[in-house]
Chains A and B, each alone.
Chain A
Amino acid sequence: MTRNPALDRRTILKGAAAGAALSITPLRHVRAAGAPVKVGVLLPTSGVLAFLGQACRRGIDLGARMMAESGAPAMEILHVDTESKAEQGRVAAEKLIREGCSVLIGAFDSGTTISAAQAAEAAKVPLVVNIAAAPQITSQGFQYVFRNFPPGATLVYNAVARIKELSSLTGVAPKTAVLMHVNDTFGHAVAKGVDILWQKLGVPIEIVDTISYSRSAKDLSVEIGRAKAAEPDILMPVTRVNDAILIVRELVKQNVGLLGVIGPGSPGPYEKAFTDATGKYGDEYMDCVPWYDPTRDKTKRAIAAFADDYPDQRFELNVGFSYEAVEIVADAIARAGTGEPQALQAALRETNLQDHIMYGGPITFDETGQNTNIGGVLLQNQGGAPQVIGPAEIAVAKPVFPMTPFAER
């Protein structure tokens, strides 16, 4: 038998020892002095959430460009795809930390964010959450997690409050409603939240039926037929973009007479895919979501820059919150005066951004790392795009309520 000189017992033992040493070495942040601060971004840019992950990425890239132009400290953005898989959150976060990132941004969906947060916490590297609504993200005692997005309960609370204000805003008082929701974790949580807050806030509208439907529904004709049979004044769908489109199509085809359609904290109707697919029939659909403040100069500048970079895309909440995440990080780096993760964590704790683009008070983080000053707006699609119609101080359009019957459009 010939012996392979490159592969003997000693070599294998040396290799094994090196591997063992490497495996017990903690993740380490390394940064050359004066080099740009590495900011790791983990988003689902492929897989089922890619459409939304890519919208977030556009916000990140725009934020990075505008921060650089405004003279903010130099940042190097490193993107990693989480492939729309929750378990990839930790893997992506560890990869970015290994590559020397001092701070992370991500991760759009709650499952991925939680797994990334665990990795960030273990490595003592701050994670700024751009979007993710699960309450446990900021209720587990993480010291390095900062969320600039409302948790589910706040999202629904703001939405119900906006719906309650609707009659004072429009002078029309709906009496009955049907709540429709997609049958997944998000849909159930929102529906349950609406149910509780409806009583708590004393909304004077009776929910006469609640209809859940499959997440993979391809056809909602029966569901809309059932909703129509209940003869509600308003329909409150909790949707994703695809089912929102299906709902509108069925409302038109079944000629359902409603005062309005209002999504309580629902993604979908403000997205370009929705307004493109539904055209004039998607107009006057309302939604209550966290949104940018269209009256601020900073927002106007960001929207104009976004239009230059992405003329075929829409500046919406995924873009806005992702943009703000970069702004929060840039602000923390500037105040810390260093790219050291510990210093950045301390700086993030002291964040107080008065002038920013999303609607709400100053960006600050409480002891759990949650920004509690995020507001909710009432949007209505008008002329094929979402417009802010409430609260009154930031409204840019007047509400159309009752909505124009579909047959008359």
Chain B
Amino acid sequence: MAELYLKVAASGLLIGTVYALIAIGLTIIFGVMRVVNFAHGEMVVMGMYLGYALWTLFAIPAIPAALIAAVVLFGLGVFLQVTVVSRFVGRPQHSQFILFIAFALVITGLHLMLMGPDARSIMAPISFETYSVGGLRLDAARVQAAATALVMILALIAFLRFTFIGRAIRAAADNPLGAEVVGIRSGRVYAITAGIGLACAGAAGALVSPLFDAQPFLAPEFTLLAFIIVIIGGLGSLTGALVGGLLIGVAEGFAALLINPAMKSMFSYGVLIAVLLFRPAGLFGGKEAR
């Protein structure tokens, strides 16, 4: 039984790292532009389909597929930001909400038209492989996904901290007017931020494609999951998203084991309510990624 608990904890941490990458994509867009991407889950599913297609057509494994998905979704993020979303930054939240719901519906419709409603599973050896770590059998796809997600998260943190563009993004997040005054072009910064946000979602989607079968209807679940994690961690906080992701990953695993597997998602909401009761701004609320 101890082995089972250990395995659940390890699996929770591993999948939680991928969840964190998804949530970081959402929180970075909100932190900089104060825009809530309600189509975030659709971007994750797009990444899943890319992962599926790259494996099925070219036998490209999940990790390189994640990099390709990140590039593709980065481009899509920049395109959407420049052509549509930029006109909605600063507008009332209800009009932003309608815009992103429209994105979500259009993307889901496209997924249905292009890929059909049935689940697409990757028939790769990794779907059945495990690593033995000190007598503990860990899912190979999960370990690889978590390791890649962690590297991406750390790379993103380093990018924001040590590069000129990263500092510009943080400056625009902290004080948009001040950033404009010192010559930072907010339009360009927003476009790069949107690209990064969607790249995180797309990469995470491709990373989980050997674990979860791609289906258009998964998107709302991913969107909700990202929201829960972001709210628990604190809106706009990268560290919060990482901690929130790990917390939800582990909590869901133990809820399934100790209470009822069908109540996994309900437990996530329980954690959310508990955090909001004691820390309304989230665990790392107000502490922006600087």
Q: A47-B117, A218-B218, A229-B4 are in contact. Are A213 and B130 (CB under 8 A)?
A: no
**What are the residues of chain A within 8 A of B112 when measuring CB–CB?**
46
User: Is A253 interfacial (CB 8 A cutoff)?
Assistant: yes
Q: A242-B119, A249-B127, A273-B118 are in contact. Are A222 and B217 (CB under 8 A)?
A: no
- Interface SS of A by simple majority: helix
Nearest to B139 among chain A residues (CB) is A253
Interchain CA distance A277-B213 in the complex, whole Å = 10
Contact between B262 and A222, CB atoms less than 8 A apart:
no
Q: Separation in Å of the A222 CB from the closest CB of chain B?
A: 4
User: Is B231 interfacial (CB 8 A cutoff)?
Assistant: no
Nearest to A213 among chain B residues (CB) is B261
User: Is B144 interfacial (CB 8 A cutoff)?
Assistant: no
Neighbour of B8 across the interface among A211, A225, A252, CB < 8 A: A225
Contact between B221 and A216, CB atoms less than 8 A apart:
yes
User: Is A245 interfacial (CB 8 A cutoff)?
Assistant: yes
Interface string of A32-70 (1 = CB under 8 A from B): 000000000000001111110000000000000000000
Contact between A213 and B262, CB atoms less than 8 A apart:
yes
Contact between A221 and B261, CB atoms less than 8 A apart:
no
Neighbour of A225 across the interface among B4, B121, B213, CB < 8 A: B4
| Number of A residues, CB within 8 Å of B | 38
Q: Separation in Å of the A242 CB from the closest CB of chain B?
A: 4
Ranked 5 nearest A-B pairs via Cβ: A51-B118, A222-B256, A183-B262, A218-B212, A213-B261
26 intermolecular pairs with C-beta atoms under 8 Å apart: A48-B117, A51-B117, A51-B118, A183-B261, A216-B217, A216-B221, A217-B261, A218-B211, A218-B212, A219-B211, A219-B212, A220-B261, A222-B8, A222-B256, A222-B261, A223-B256, A225-B8, A226-B257, A229-B4, A241-B119, A242-B121, A246-B213, A253-B139, A273-B119, A277-B121, A279-B123
Binding site for A on B (CB under 8 A): 1, 4, 7-8, 11, 15, 112, 116-119, 121, 123, 127-130, 137, 139, 208, 211-213, 215, 217-218, 221, 253, 256-257, 260-262, 264-265
Binding site for B on A (CB under 8 A): 46-51, 84, 183, 211-214, 216-223, 225-226, 228-229, 241-242, 245-246, 249, 252-255, 273, 276-277, 279, 281
